[in-house]
Amino acid sequence: MRTKILLAALLLVPSLALASGYEVISVNPRDLALSHSAVAAQVDAAAASLNPAALSKLDGPAVSVAGSMLDIWTDWSAIAGSGLTGSSTTRFKPVTPVAAYAGWGTKLAGRGFGVGVGFAQPFGGNQFWKDDWQGRGRIIEVQRRFFGTYATAGYEVLPQLRLGGGLIWYYGFEYLKQGIQPLPDAFGELDTKGGAVTYQAAAEIRPVLSIPLTIGIDYKHKAHATLKGDGNFEVPPSLESPATQDQGVTHEVTLPNLFTLGAGYRPLKQLLVTLQWSWSRWVVYRDDTFQGDKGLTLTVPRDYRNGNVIRGGVEWEVSPTLALRAGLMRDQSGLRATTYSPTLPDSNTTGGSAGLTWAFGKRGLAANAAFFYGRRDEVTTEGSIPFPGKYQTDIVIVSAGLSWNTDLHRAASPVAQAQ
């Protein structure tokens, strides 16, 4: 019984990102600088994942690549009546998500047509607790990465309407390590991977062509992925049993439906204002169930509700070569404090961002950079399932990259790109 309990604690699947559940905000610098609020204002190859309908605005080839540094840290402190004392902070160990896109646009039957491919990390997260923290019996290290590969297209149906969509291939990797109390050298670890294919559909609408207002819509369908891998256990002879044998493990993961609705408006030629609402169907995240090939079945409740995020941003063209950006967001997470865990220290989040683009004359090349900071609301756990305590999490992302477009006028001017 004891070994089954410690395994159940080990297999609490983790993740941490920047929206409800384990979604990750886009690290494409322009979108990150606008706090991911530009579904209605896509101007380059990044539209391949964020709103494929906007690919129909491309003229010739376009490329956008970026790298980032993302650091997440959580502070834990004991609460009265828990039998615990003190506090702990996760280790500094940043990760480096990337965003890479390529697109090409032309005319088809007199209307704009574009295709694009992309690679990003839309889901995932990490937690690196200290080896000696009081909750090591629940979790020491967590890494979850779900990459998205996108193949999409967009077409200008009417001057007021562009439609797009395509396929998404999600592929994920998970690694978890948990200590076995009170033995300092005993631990268990899991390493799984797997993927699934789904689809997305998008639209870009200009209700009145004489008014500089654009509405953007993007929908990504849920995906059901089967992750397979190995469980490894380092335990003393006193804890050896069928439940702590090395064995194959299968984990079924459902990535949620994602729906985004946004608007972009230009009160001035040099000024773009964006507003966006995102909905994530996290009710599909009911539990994490792991099936071992030696007969072990473990189910950990999550019981999430749906998540909602409100985002906004401003882009100002200071000159034909320089654009400045800023953004804000507020995430209402679907977490429940009764199933809260140090493997998934999710919470409602307030975030802000800033960034810029510098275009190198009319050569079609531009440099982009962005910074984001998010702070989660403090959570005090409830009930008997979570590890007791108060949790406070912060997120910092720094992103930089290059974009290139052979339509020289558009590449040199952020304003012209959006027209």
pLDDT per residue as tens digits for the range 68-90: 999 988 999 999 888 888 899 98
Question: For the chain, how big is the Rg over CA atoms in Å?
Answer: 23
Q: How far is CA 297 from CA 25, 294, 344, in A?
A: 33, 9, 21
For residue 198, give every residue at least 6 positions away whose Cβ sits within 8 Å of its Cβ, in sequence order, or none: 167, 168, 170, 220, 221, 222, 223, 255
**Superfamily (CATH H level) for 2-418:** Outer membrane protein transport protein (OMPP1/FadL/TodX) (2.40.160.60)
What CA–CA distance (Å, rounded) separates 40 from 122? 19
- Structure tokens that stand for 183 in this block: 């033995």
For residue 218, give every residue at least 6 positions away whose Cβ sits within 8 Å of its Cβ, in sequence order, or none: 39, 50, 51, 52, 200, 201, 202, 258, 259, 260
Query: What residues pair up with 42 in beta bridges, in sequence order?
Result: none
Residue 20, pLDDT score: 59
| Residue type present at position 26 | S
Q: Do 372 and 396 form a contact (C-beta atoms < 8 A)?
A: yes
What letter does residue 244 receive in the DSSP assignment? G
What CA–CA distance (Å, rounded) separates 74 from 350? 15
Q: Do 220 and 168 form a contact (C-beta atoms < 8 A)?
A: yes
Residue 189, pLDDT score: 82
Q: List the chain residues with pLDDT less than 50.
A: 1-18, 408-419
What CA–CA distance (Å, rounded) separates 14 from 176? 8
Q: ∠ CA(17), CA(169), CA(104), 5° rounding?
A: 100
Residues in the chain: 419
- Using a 10 angstrom Cβ sphere, with 0-12 exposed, 13-18 middle and 19 or more buried, the burial of residue 156 is buried
| Residue type present at position 366 | A
- Compute how many other C-beta atoms are within 10 angstroms of the C-beta atom of residue 237: 5
Closest alpha carbon to 308 in 276, 277, 285: 277
End-to-end CA distance of the chain: 65
pLDDT tens track for 9-66: 343 433 344 455 688 899 999 999 999 999 999 999 999 999 999 999 999 999 999 9
Q: Where are the domains of the chain?
A: 2-418
What CA–CA distance (Å, rounded) separates 188 from 139? 10
- Structure tokens that stand for 207 in this block: 């209700």
What letter does residue 23 receive in the DSSP assignment? B
For tokens 């890494």, the residue is 143
Residue 61, pLDDT score: 95
Residue 19, pLDDT score: 52
pTM of the predicted model as reported, rounded to 2 decimal places: 0.89
Query: What residues pair up with 174 in beta bridges, in sequence order?
Result: 144, 192
| Cis amide bond preceding 94, omega within 30 | no
Query: What residues pair up with 104 in beta bridges, in sequence order?
Result: 61, 115
Q: ∠ CA(5), CA(176), CA(68), 5° rounding?
A: 150
